[in-house]
């Protein structure tokens, strides 16, 4: 079927394209302009046409996500569902996630924290999300088997083979480390961990663990860089951890999660523990300019009630004191730990206002939007449904100023946001939400509208109210099929879960089998994600490793 999207303002920064024109689609791919009569013509006059949005960091599946729904059911309002889709409007459900991303023009979303021990349940939940392609990052850095290999000073090959096996077994799209060694340290009574502090029992440090994982990811050829959640999230002086970790990568590819939560400089050097924090956004962006090997997603704060979800048990244990409402869950397992802590971002609160400002400041100071990815670390900074509002703030200085006027004065005292005149262009928004994240994930056929691209397309009415514009796309096409019209889902299609094609070393398979049987009385098969567990045969789609 030949489709012509006609007369829209086509924005594709990867092709230097920002002008009125057409996009042609056939068999689920973007094709060259054709002299044939199209089977379908979509009138995009007065609209902006972009590739489908790409989400790199959103907690949408897994044990902590399920616990958050149980702990805080009042977070979501459930509405009457359309006929035949009983859970489509149930707040926080798989169908709700897929529908709300699709309405905004997003066509792929990645869960950033999948412990290998719970990979099957996470993958089953991801497969339930309609409309979108999905993926998940395999978490390593606190598991005993890896830490044993490092303690025994086994070579890079052993670590590489274990990481490859974990990704293959869990069917992950990449690798993430979360406060590497932190969960292990917590079990031995530590409440804080720095990059070079020794982790009890293993005699390792976060630096050593992260370095080993950086090397393994490169040797395996994982397209997505190691996805790093640093030490000391959310405390004054966290910018030191960010910069130290950036330098510790020593030129290797690295991606930093939710950088806003690390852009906190000490406000009073003489009283660092009690003086609060100030924006370190300028320091973070300047450091990033010097390290082209690095990228980060933002973790922008959105005001209102939310619930924080993390496998960083050190941070969640400390954060329980600020739970609002006063209820929380912490878990500590063999390989991971984590917690679910409700939180209320208050628009007139000093801390929340400054956090909100810092996230915007990071994006507005960044000279390379393609290395600066829009996220809210859903739901930690707020819901992903706030993206249209955030985009509006980036594109409209007057809108920012009006909003700042209603917030706490600390924004002007401890951040540089008020003085920033910059307004994002459509092309920069496309880099922030399309081409940048697609490139980061190694998905060469996404995030752009060049010939051969997957026909994931979002069409927006060009409305000066950018919030309204990006909240309800006029049309969204997934693989060439129209799934959204006028902000409403019209076709409940099923996407695919992306998995990395990784070969497992036979010797490491045998070694891991012995380790797991000795430790748990259950072998590797207990942690696999078999095709037979899914009701459909074509749930997964393979992504090749780098050569």
Structural domain contains residue 29: no
Helices of type H across 182-226? 182-187, 206-220
Residue that is written with structure tokens 């502090």 in the block? 197
Contact 19, 8 (CB under 8 A): no
Across 140-220, where does the E strand assignment appear?
174-178
pLDDT in the model for residue 91: 66
Tens digit of each residue's pLDDT, the chain (547 residues): 999 999 999 999 999 999 999 999 999 999 999 999 999 999 999 999 999 999 999 999 998 898 998 898 888 766 666 666 665 555 678 999 999 999 999 999 999 999 999 999 999 999 999 999 999 999 999 999 999 999 999 999 999 999 999 999 999 999 999 999 999 899 888 888 999 999 999 999 999 999 999 999 999 999 999 999 999 999 999 999 999 999 999 999 999 999 999 999 999 888 877 789 999 999 999 999 999 999 999 999 999 999 999 999 999 999 999 999 999 999 887 666 789 999 999 999 999 999 999 999 999 999 999 999 999 999 999 999 999 999 999 999 999 999 999 999 999 999 999 999 999 999 999 999 999 999 999 999 999 999 999 999 999 999 999 999 999 999 999 999 999 999 999 999 999 999 999 999 999 999 999 999 998 899 999 999 999 999 988 999 999 999 7
Compute the distance between CA of residue 201 and CA of residue 198 in angstroms, rounded to an integer.
Answer: 9
pLDDT in the model for residue 118: 92
Number of domains present in the structure of the chain: 1
Residue 306 belongs to domain spanning: 49-497
Contact 126, 118 (CB under 8 A): no
Give the residue from 193, 175, 192, 288 showing the smallest Cα distance to 242: 288
CA angle 92, 95, 96 (to 5 degrees): 40
CATH assignment at residue 335: 3.20.20.140
Q: Could you tell me which residues come within 8 angstroms of residue 329 by beta carbon, excluding any fewer than 6 positions away?
A: 67, 71, 339, 340, 341
pLDDT in the model for residue 454: 98
Give the residue from 377, 214, 395, 409 showing the smallest Cα distance to 298: 377
Structural domain contains residue 484: yes
How much is the CA Rg of the chain, to the nearest whole Å? 23
Compute the distance between CA of residue 55 and CA of residue 434 in angstroms, rounded to an integer.
Answer: 8
Structural domain contains residue 256: yes
CA angle 314, 291, 298 (to 5 degrees): 50
Side-chain half-sphere CA neighbours of 470 within 13 A: 23
Structural domain contains residue 32: no
User: Could you tell me if residue 83 is left (phi over 0), alpha (psi between -120 and 50 degrees) or otherwise beta?
Assistant: beta
Contact 182, 189 (CB under 8 A): no
Structural domain contains residue 33: no
**Chain centroid to CA 152:** 33
Concatenated DSSP letters for 11-73? EEGGGTEEEEEEEEEETTEEE---SSPPSEEEE-TTEEEEEPEEES----SSHHHHHHHHH-G
Query: How many helices (DSSP H) and strands (DSSP E) are in the chain?
Result: 18, 24
Give the residue from 427, 370, 353 showing the smallest Cα distance to 395: 427
Concatenated DSSP letters for 234-267? TSTTHHHHHHHHHHHTTTS-EEES-GGGG-EEES
Contact 263, 239 (CB under 8 A): yes
pLDDT in the model for residue 92: 79
Structural domain contains residue 20: no
Q: Which residues pair with 108 in a beta bridge?
A: 54, 133
Structural domain contains residue 536: no
Strand pairing category for 40-43 and 133-139: unpaired
Q: Which helix (H) or strand (E) holds 372?
A: strand 372-373
Compute the distance between CA of residue 330 and CA of residue 339 in angstroms, rounded to an integer.
Answer: 4
Structural domain contains residue 249: yes
Sign of torsion over alpha carbons 363, 365, 368, 371: negative
Give the residue from 246, 235, 223 showing the smallest Cα distance to 296: 246
Structure tokens at 420: 């920033």
């Amino acid at each position: 079927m030949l489709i012509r999207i006609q007369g829209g303002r086509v924005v594709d920064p990867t092709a230097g394209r920002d002008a009125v024109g057409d996009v042609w689609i056939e068999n689920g791919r973007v094709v060259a302009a054709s002299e044939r009569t199209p089977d379908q013509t979509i009138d995009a006059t007065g609209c902006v046409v972009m590739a489908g949005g790409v989400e790199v960091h959103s907690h949408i599946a897994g044990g902590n996500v399920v616990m958050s729904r149980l702990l805080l059911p009042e977070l979501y309002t459930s509405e009457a569902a359309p006929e035949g889709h009983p859970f489509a409007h149930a707040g926080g459900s798989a169908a709700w996630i897929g529908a709300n991303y699709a309405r905004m023009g997003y066509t792929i979303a990645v869960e950033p924290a999948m412990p290998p021990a719970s990979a099957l349940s996470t993958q089953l939940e991801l497969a339930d999300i309609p409309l979108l392609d999905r993926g998940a990052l395999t978490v390593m850095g606190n598991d005993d088997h890896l830490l044993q290999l490092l303690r025994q000073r086994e070579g890079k090959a052993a670590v590489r083979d274990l990481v490859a096996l974990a990704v293959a077994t869990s069917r992950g799209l990449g690798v993430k480390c979360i406060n590497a060694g932190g969960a292990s340290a917590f079990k031995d009574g530590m409440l804080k961990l720095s990059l070079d502090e020794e982790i009890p029992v293993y005699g390792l440090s976060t630096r050593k663990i992260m370095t080993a994982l950086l090397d393994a990811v490169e040797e395996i050829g994982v397209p997505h860089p190691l996805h790093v959640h640093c030490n000391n999230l959310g405390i004054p002086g966290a910018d030191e951890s960010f910069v130290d970790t950036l330098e510790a990568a020593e030129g290797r590819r690295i991606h930093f999660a939710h950088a806003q939560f690390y852009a906190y400089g000490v406000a009073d050097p003489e009283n660092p523990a009690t003086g609060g924090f100030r924006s370190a956004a300028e320091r973070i962006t300047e450091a990033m300019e010097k390290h082209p090997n690095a990228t980060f997603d933002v973790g922008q704060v959105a005001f209102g009630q939310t619930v924080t979800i993390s496998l960083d048990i050190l941070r969640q244990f400390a954060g329980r004191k600020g739970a609002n409402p006063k209820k929380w869950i912490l878990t500590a397992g063999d390989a991971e730990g984590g917690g679910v802590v409700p939180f209320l971002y208050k628009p007139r609160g000093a801390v929340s206002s400054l956090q909100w400002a810092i996230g915007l400041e990071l994006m507005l100071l960044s000279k390379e939007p393609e290395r600066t990815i829009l996220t809210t670390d859903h739901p930690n900074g707020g819901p992903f449904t706030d993206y249209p509002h955030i985009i509006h703030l980036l594109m409209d200085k007057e809108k920012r100023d009006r909003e700042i006027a209603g917030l706490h004065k600390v924004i002007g005292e401890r951040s540089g946001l008020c003085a920033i005149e910059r307004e994002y262009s459509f092309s920069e928004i496309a880099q922030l939400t399309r081409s940048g994240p697609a490139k980061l994930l190694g998905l060469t056929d996404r995030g752009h509208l060049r010939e051969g691209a997957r026909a994931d397309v979002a069409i927006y009415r060009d409305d000066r109210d950018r919030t309204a514009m990006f909240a309800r796309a006029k049309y969204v096409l997934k693989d060439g099929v129209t799934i959204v019209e006028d902000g409403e889902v019209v076709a409940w299609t099923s996407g695919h879960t992306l998995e990395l094609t990784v070969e497992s070393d036979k010797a490491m398979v045998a070694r891991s089998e012995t380790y797991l049987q000795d430790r748990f009385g259950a072998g590797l098969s207990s942690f696999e994600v078999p095709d037979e567990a899914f009701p459909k045969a074509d749930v997964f789609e393979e992504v090749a490793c780098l050569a």
